[in-house]
Amino acid sequence: MTLSATDIKELAQRLDSAQTLCADTPSLSDTHEADLDDAYAIQSALIELRQARGEQIVGVKLGFTSKAKMAQMGVSEVIVGRLTDAMRIADGAEVDLGRFIHPKAEPEIAYRLSRDVALDDPATDIESCVDAVAPAIEIIDSRYRNFRFTHPDVVADNTSAAGYVVGPWRSLESVTNRSVQLTVGSKQALGSTAAILGDPVRALHALLDVARRRRIPLRAGQTVLAGAATAAIELTPGVTECQIAGIGSASMKGR
């Protein structure tokens, strides 16, 4: 840790205001030397501000689990953020894009936790704590100007989490090597679930590792977003859809 408790609170407040006022903010590293421990502490303080407004934690998300995303953003280590009920968008629902700063869509795989994950038990098998899988869309909306951030910056900003749509759940099955298609209006990104650490199930193992180190609780009923399979596409009004071969699709309508 390099930052004081006051700095951590202030930076969490700054990122929270950027989100609620829909106004971007410069990279924290322009003025502060935050390390990753500071960054996760800022993220926790930010989530506490949201919880104080009545939001509930409903899941977690991974970021930078694919080479395409790492290359797009210049960061090369898996990151974890929290999902709250305020970020949830029903499958097929209309979404007012005006509530975001500069939103982008990502095609994702969602897993559902069926049991609490015992972080302190070295024998914990996270795969046995998951009972369902679904196609999903993540809306990312970095609070930083021009999506310009360092690794600690993006962790502090709750890994750009802003919204997510989960399509129909199905009982857990392997999602290895499925083709992935993200459509945003006339734009498309094509990829494979293999882009997610070779197999999205590895994202669960990576999550367990980060959750243990960062003391992020993983509870029954929570949703886990395994990370984007392709680079993100800027959200525009109209239909956005993520299709995963053999698994189904999730969609939303921006306006």
Q: Which does 154 bind (CB under 5 to 8 A by kind): ligand OOG, Mg ion, none?
A: ligand OOG
Scanning residues 79 to 108, which ones bind Mg ion (CB under 5 A)?
A: 106
3-state per-residue secondary structure call for the chain: CCCCHHHHHHHHHHHHHHHHHCCCECCHHHCCCCCHHHHHHHHHHHHHHHHHCCCCEEEEEEECCEHHHHHHHCCCCCEEEEEEHHHEECCCCEECHHHCCCCEEEEEEEEEECCCCCCCCCCCCHHHHEEEEEEEEEEECCCEHHHCCCHHHHHHCHHHEEEEEECCCEECCCCCCCEEEEEECCEEEEEEHHHECCCCHHHHHHHHHHHHHHCCCCCCCCEEECCCCCCCEECCCEEEEEEECCCEEEEEEEC
Q: Which does 73 bind (CB under 5 to 8 A by kind): ligand OOG, Mg ion, none?
A: ligand OOG
Residues that bind ligand OOG (CB under 6 A): 63-64, 69, 73, 106, 138, 140, 142, 154, 159-160, 227-228
Of 38, 138, 153, 157, the residue at the interface with Mg ion (CB under 5 A) is 138
Task: Give the count of residues interacting with Mg ion (CB under 5 A).
Answer: 3
Scanning residues 1 to 20, which ones bind Mg ion (CB under 5 A)?
A: none
Does 141 bind Mg ion (CB under 5 A)? Our answer is no
Minimum distance from CB of 65 to Mg ion (Å)?
8
With CB atoms as reference, the residue minimizing the distance to ligand OOG is: 63
Of 28, 75, 126, 228, the residue at the interface with Mg ion (CB under 5 A) is 228
Q: Which does 160 bind (CB under 5 to 8 A by kind): Mg ion, ligand OOG, none?
A: ligand OOG
